[in-house]
Amino acid sequence: MNTQISFGGKAVSEKNDAIDVQNINTQLFIDGKFIAAKNGGTIDVLNPANGELITKIAAAEAEDVDLAVKAAQKAFPVWAETPAAERGRLLLKLADLIEENLEELAQLESLDTGHPIRDSRRLDVPRTAACFRYFGGMADKIEGSVIPVEQGFLNYVLREPIGVVGQIVPWNFPLMFTSWKLGPALAAGNVVVMKPSEITPLSTLKIAELIKQAGFPDGVVNIVPGYGQTAGQRLADHPDIGKISFTGSTQTGRNIVNASSGNLKRVQLELGGKGANIVFEDADIDAAVNGAAWAIFHNQGQACIAGSRLVLHEKIADQFLQKFIALAESIRLGNPLDADTEMGPLTSQAHRDKVLSYAKIAVEQGGKILTGGVAPDDESLKNGFYVLPTVVEAKATDRVAQEEVFGPFVTVLRFKDDAEALEIANSTEYGLGSGLWTNNLQRAHRFAKKIKAGMCWINSYKRVNPGSPFGGVGKSGYGREMGFEAIHDYTEVKSVWVNVDAQIPPHFQRGES
């Protein structure tokens, strides 16, 4: 599961049955039933590898979201009082079903998002199952505490579920993010209304089927694919939703905070990033080259934690770039469903156009394109939303070094000494992923402490594990997914005071009674 992909390495050849698009689930999942949207609206879901229609799915609007929230409210008392071990058992069962359906889920995810199938099989689906399993195991370990207060009192702290939780998922890792959000929310006893991205809803709708098969009570999980402006907006402003968990762009995160203010719902935001991946002069260059390629080219660079700024010590920069560019140029672009493909298309045409526009922006500001910056000219890829692996050299203040491009697009920046490396690393408004390549132990820990980021990887990049907190600082958002942090974020804390044998002198003396 944690295999570091070796770009340019030997590809595995695995069986690749076509999925039957007729069997793809396309309806809303509300109160345990698959139903059409009230107004009958649909959304076209396109295959990013060729721009063709895969299927049309139901488009939830505000009234569908309201229905889902009602179903969730009805299910809440039952779910919250279900023994924690039983909630955990259902999550573990769901993890098993995900593994049993690995091939179908992997193919759906690749078809819908453009993830290379070898990544969907080895990473997305196993990580999704692992995340549900982690939180399944945690459900009956969510403990309160007893506080040593003054004599005569027992003070204990309960962690209680919040109630109905709204979850808004983006298009870059739809399957995996479903588990990151549902896992802790359900383990802690909450009920959920989840909106997948309108661009990539298919694997989440398959998860809805597996949730039903696992035996979760009706209404505990409701899935309402729809557009952000309608369904997403309604989740954010709904008066009966107690918390919103959102992953996506910083601007949408801001909109959600504003919309959530009506009932002061809790908000957890996992937003953009501009990860600095710093290579020092003493680093193992070959390991850093491979790790830096993984950091930016995995999932076509569509990752909030991508190492999209490659910060190189000037002494090793030329040697590093020679190897890095050769590796970038050797990456096999192709049909995501082909087991040999190392990089697929970007997930939507609009996004591909945005990524390509940054090549122009880089040059306008004096940057230099070292490779890529265009779509491939291969005839077989011409209808898909492909971009060649792109390496650009620029200044730390340029837009390509400050703004999230969210594609296979890395900006190279050079530094002279540690102070300059740190200044560059901390020079954006984001603070999510970061990486260091060095064999100097003291420098590694010094940087890990000083770098402005929610996560720092030393001599690796982009490691994730369900037990390790994930999230950012600054414009990368707040709150954490995964681990105990996530569970705590899905609970309300109640402090209970019991007078066991305290003698409290009356505050208001009124003479003898």
Binding ligand NAD (rule: CB under 6 A), the pick from 223, 304, 387, 422 is 304
Interatomic CA distance for residues 388 and 190, integer angstroms = 43
Binding ligand NAD (rule: CB under 6 A), the pick from 167, 252, 299, 438 is 252
Output 38 or 354, the one with its CB closest to ligand NAD. Answer: 354
304 in catalytic set: yes
Contacts 24+ apart (CB under 8 A), 448-455: 450/422, 450/426, 451/276, 451/422, 451/425, 451/426, 452/425, 452/426, 453/275, 453/276, 454/480, 455/305
247 binds ligand NAD (CB under 6 A): yes
Find the shortest distance in angstroms from Cβ 407 to ligand NAD. Answer: 8
- Bridge partners of residue 155, in order along the sequence: 147, 497
Output 237 or 342, the one with its CB closest to ligand NAD. Answer: 237
Q: Number of residues in contact with ligand NAD, rule: CB under 6 A?
A: 27
Interatomic CA distance for residues 357 and 325, integer angstroms = 21
Instruction: Say which DSSP state 86 is in.
Output: H
Place of tokens 């591909």: 352
Look up residue 182 and give its two tokens.
Answer: 């549902």
Interatomic CA distance for residues 469 and 16, integer angstroms = 34
255 binds ligand NAD (CB under 6 A): yes
Output 149 or 350, the one with its CB closest to ligand NAD. Answer: 350
- Of the CA atoms within 13 Å of residue 406, those in its CB half-sphere come to 23
Site for ligand NAD in 270-289 (CB under 6 A): 270-272
Find the shortest distance in angstroms from Cβ 510 to ligand NAD. Answer: 58
99 in catalytic set: no
CB atoms within 10 A of CB 271: 25
Binding ligand NAD (rule: CB under 6 A), the pick from 94, 138, 162, 168 is 168
CB 448 within 8 A of CB 427: no
Find the shortest distance in angstroms from Cβ 171 to ligand NAD. Answer: 6
Find the shortest distance in angstroms from Cβ 279 to ligand NAD. Answer: 24
Part of the chain binding ligand NAD (CB under 6 A), chosen from 68-76, 96-104, 248-256, 504-512? 248-256
Interatomic CA distance for residues 452 and 428, integer angstroms = 9
What CA–CA distances, in Å, run from 383 to 335, 352, 455?
Answer: 11, 12, 37
Part of the chain binding ligand NAD (CB under 6 A), chosen from 229-237, 282-290, 335-343, 412-420? 229-237
Part of the chain binding ligand NAD (CB under 6 A), chosen from 143-151, 168-176, 201-209, 413-421? 168-176
- Which residue, 363, 373, 456, 369, is CA-closest to 407? 373
Find the shortest distance in angstroms from Cβ 256 to ligand NAD. Answer: 5
Q: Residue-wise over 110-149: b if at least 16 C-beta within 10 A, else e?
A: bbbbbbbbbbbbbbbbbbbbbbbbbbbebbeebeeeeeee
User: What angle (nearest 5°) sits at the alpha carbon of residue 122, between those of residues 431 and 134?
Assistant: 65
The pattern of x and - marking residues 406 through 425 that bind ligand NAD according to CB under 6 A reads: x-------------------
197 binds ligand NAD (CB under 6 A): yes
CB atoms within 10 A of CB 80: 16
Output 231 or 321, the one with its CB closest to ligand NAD. Answer: 231
Binding ligand NAD (rule: CB under 6 A), the pick from 116, 163, 228, 435 is 228
491 binds ligand NAD (CB under 6 A): no
Contact residues for ligand NAD (CB under 6 A)?
A: 168-172, 195, 197-198, 227-229, 232-233, 236, 247-249, 252, 255-256, 270-272, 304, 351, 404, 406
Catalytic residues: 270, 304
